Structure 1
Amino acid sequence: MVRGVVRPHRVLSGSWGEVIASNLDYHRATFRWKCEGLSEAQLRRRAVPPSELTLLGLMRHLQGVERHWLQRTLAGTTPAFPPYKTYVTAAGDEWYDDSDPTPAREVYEDYVRACQESREVFARATADTARIVPNTEFGATDVRFVLEHVIEEYARHVGHADLLREAIDGSTGE
């Protein structure tokens, strides 16, 4: 993957939108940093048995988070979701199947594209943070809740990426 990912400085004071946008970009860059320099095989490796999580699977999932929550739910767009292979878990949830043959480079480029698409609609989609948006997972929520949920998704999965990367090649770091 790409080398030399630089995490942006986070806005520590400013408008609510600036703070949230900078934190999202920080988490996006941190995730990319955890994936940088790894081979296709390493990105597909289930490194923490018995978990089936892989960095590539998380990458597929996070592009879906960007498109579902930021683009569709908040911005009201109709994003194009790649036809990645999925399966239904025992709990009835849909998850990306790591047997999907899409090359890691294409998944990475798609993830970067999804992040950029979200940045392009962010200001418009978050202008009214009290606006109520319907969603099938939580019911009607305001924009702030959805943004908090996206940051929660990133924080959780960057933590997973920390563990996966350390198990793959010993690399650690915040």
Structure 2
Amino acid sequence: MTVNTDDKNDLLIYVQDARDALMWKLEGLSEYDLRRPLTPTGTNLLGLIKHVTGAEALYLGETFGRPFPEPTPLWIIGTAEPNADLWARADESTEEILGRYRRVWAHSDATIEALPLDAIGQLPFGGRPKQTLHRVLVHVIAETHRHVGHADLVRELIDGATGQRSHGPNTAPGDTAWWQAHHDRVEQAARQAGGLA
């Protein structure tokens, strides 16, 4: 059996899957729900988009001498308040934030297309400043999927929507009663293990 491999294409599939999953987490929500903080540290959906936009522009643009031509949140961190890239101001439109993310990923894809995976980039910070495109792309995939996990939890807290995408079953089947019973089973097991039952 012959196995065809295309490492660059495989990596592109995984980064795009993460981007798409993150974007669908915003579908159908009000401006308030897109922006409201749902954890003690302020985690919110548009803030996650802003953060990954800046990270992707930095890692797959600036690092390889291909700077994204628009300002992005991570580039202004030195002059902005802490966590400026993790929330959306009232004067920042959702369309502006999502449009910039799509333009950044098109710019990133052009970098990936133009360079071999062993191309060396210069990170503008940190203890390991030189990295291959392959390693940087793996980092971007891991970081984006990590933030998709945050978005999973935030979206579930907003309206109960779960899963990797808006279509097709990709979570356990069950209605509200089934999920409540599942929650109760998990709680009971935790209480027993913790000596609280």
Task: Please give the TM-score of this superposition, normalised by the length of structure 2.
Answer: 0.71
User: Offset of 1:83 from its aligned partner?
Assistant: 6.2
Closer/same/farther in 2, CA of residues 45 and 13 from structure 1, 3 Å limit: farther
- 1:45 is the counterpart of 2:39: no
1:80 corresponds to: 69
For residues 61 and 100 of structure 1, the distance between their equivalents in structure 2, rounded to whole angstroms, comes to 17
CA contact (8 A) 2:57 2:72 kept: no
For residues 156 and 100 of structure 1, the distance between their equivalents in structure 2, rounded to whole angstroms, comes to 26
RMSD: 2.2
2:120 corresponds to: 132
Give me the identity figure in percent. 32
Aligned AA (1:80): P
How far does the alpha carbon of each residue in 1:124-151 deviate from its partner, in whole angstroms, 9 at most, with x for none? 13x1x23332212332222221111101
2:159 corresponds to: 169
1:24 corresponds to: 15
SS in structure 1 opposite 2:56? helix
1:62 corresponds to: 52
**Bigger fraction of residues in helix:** 2
How far does the alpha carbon of each residue in 1:88-132 deviate from its partner, in whole angstroms, 9 at most, with x for none? 26xxxx64453352111211111112112222232113x1x2333
Closer/same/farther in 2, CA of residues 73 and 102 from structure 1, 3 Å limit: same
Segments of structure 2 that go 5 or more residues without pairing to the other structure are 165-197
For residues 95 and 26 of structure 2, the distance between their equivalents in structure 1, rounded to whole angstroms, comes to 11
- 1:36 is the counterpart of 2:13: no
Task: Please give the TM-score of this superposition, normalised by the length of structure 1.
Answer: 0.79
For residues 46 and 115 of structure 1, the distance between their equivalents in structure 2, rounded to whole angstroms, comes to 25
1:6 corresponds to: none
Runs of 4+ off more than 3 Å: 81-86, 94-100
For residues 57 and 94 of structure 2, the distance between their equivalents in structure 1, rounded to whole angstroms, comes to 19
Number of residue pairs aligned between Structure 1 and Structure 2: 155
CA contact (8 A) 1:64 1:81 kept: no
Segments of structure 1 that go 5 or more residues without pairing to the other structure are 1-11
